[in-house]
Amino acid sequence: MDTEALLDEWRRETRNGPVAKEARTRDGRLLNYHGRRLSRPASEVYERLMRMGSGLDDLWPLASIPMKTEGALAVGVQSGHGPIRYQLFAIEDQGRIEWRFTMERLQGRYEYAIVPAGKGTLVENVIDGSLSGDLVEVWPKAIGPLHDWVLERIFDRLDQPPAPWFDPKLVGAIR
């Protein structure tokens, strides 16, 4: 699988609208991509993504399987949702948030990229990894479709203004 060529192709497709694509190989290689141009500024998109899994998260759409972090988002923090576990690996201010999976049967990176695009933002989510064991069969039947659903809802929410209660400065004043 030529990961870079596929990502380049899928990124070009975002010029025509939202893109959700996946490539898998029989040996468990996985490339999952979601890209969308949003009307919101890149700084706002980045700030909201950096609050995911916290008490101020207005993006995560699945209350029955919440995303949780073990502290503020900083390199090294452990995070997860349901049975999926990952560790924050890298943060590029205003541009990229990358986790690495910490599971035996799911390895690789999980990343958000935030790119200013005209008056808005191109936001991307990429899983570049490998599945092993029963996850090779379970991913396309259950985990993959749920991941895709969650990502599209997060992107829908990112394209809307933040929740009115969401200004962290005001939350601090309420205490």
pTM for this entry: 0.90
Tell me the CA distances in angstroms from 35 to 38, 45, 154, one per residue in order.
10, 13, 12
Mean of per-residue pLDDT scores for the chain: 91
Within a domain: 168: no
Domains: count for the chain: 1
Of 166 and 3, the one with more pLDDT = 3
Residue ranges making up the domain that contains 134: 3-159
- Give the pLDDT of residue 65: 86
- Give the pLDDT of residue 128: 97
* pLDDT interval class at 166 (50, 70, 90): low
Of 175 and 97, the one with more pLDDT = 97
Within a domain: 127: yes
Within a domain: 166: no
Within a domain: 169: no
Within a domain: 10: yes
Torsion sign (Cα): 124, 117, 77, 67: negative
Here the CATH number for the domain that contains residue 124 is: 3.30.530.20
